[in-house]
Amino acid sequence: MDATLLTEEIREDAIKTKGYFIYPNELFENVIKDAKTNENLNTDLATIFKNIEASAIGFKSETAIKGLFDDLDTTSNRLGNSVTDKNKRLADVLTGINELEFGNFENHQIDLFGDAYEYLIKMYASHAGKSGGEFFTPQTVSKLLAKITLYGQTTINKIYDPACGSGFLLLQAKKQFDDQLIEEGFFGQEINMTT
């Protein structure tokens, strides 16, 4: 989409429905195109993250989006000693993500992002020496719970997970309930806003 066609009404509608706004040139598919040759990749990514957060200011989603990228420092010396080293490492990460075959959600029994998230959280928790009282429902248990809930049902009022964490149980429920009528939708809440 031509950026000149983006009116303020389109931008506001996107923020109201999605919670944030991203310009077309800031989308992953466009950033990855020149990631390996972009001499400003690290600062461009930092700007994109700031723009996403800034887009929510003054909207209902502001508190949910604010600080979302605080832990992503694309200018950190941990990425390399020079801008070139930082950009190479960032481009390698983006390229690695781009090469993952996610396919269609409906056609798979695994949740690649959920698996990666669960693995990283477990690694972080074990290195931190504690889990912070957080426990992650394994995929097999999530799938079983969703199937038990579905058993004998043709319509469901709503599906709610009061401790949704990464939301994997809700994702499994979505997969299991494709043929049933979910009248009010899927709902989840999490007390720990960092998950």
User: Residues of 45-60 as b/e, b for ≥16 C-beta within 10 angstroms?
Assistant: bbebbeebbebbeebe
* Number of neighbours of residue 172 by Cβ within 10 angstroms: 24
- Two structure tokens written together for 92: 């390698």
- Looking at the DSSP bridge assignments, the partners of residue 155 are 181
- Two structure tokens written together for 179: 């043929």
pTM to 2 decimal places: 0.56
- Dihedral of CA atoms 71, 74, 80, 83 in degrees, nearest 10, equals -160
Of 42, 52, 30, the C-alpha closest to 73 is 42
Q: Coil, strand or helix: which one is 195?
A: coil
Task: Express each pLDDT in 134-186 by its tens digit.
Answer: 566 676 777 787 777 777 777 778 888 888 776 777 777 777 666 566 777 78
Q: How confident is the model at residue 50 (pLDDT cuts 50, 70, 90)?
A: very high
pLDDT at 119: 65
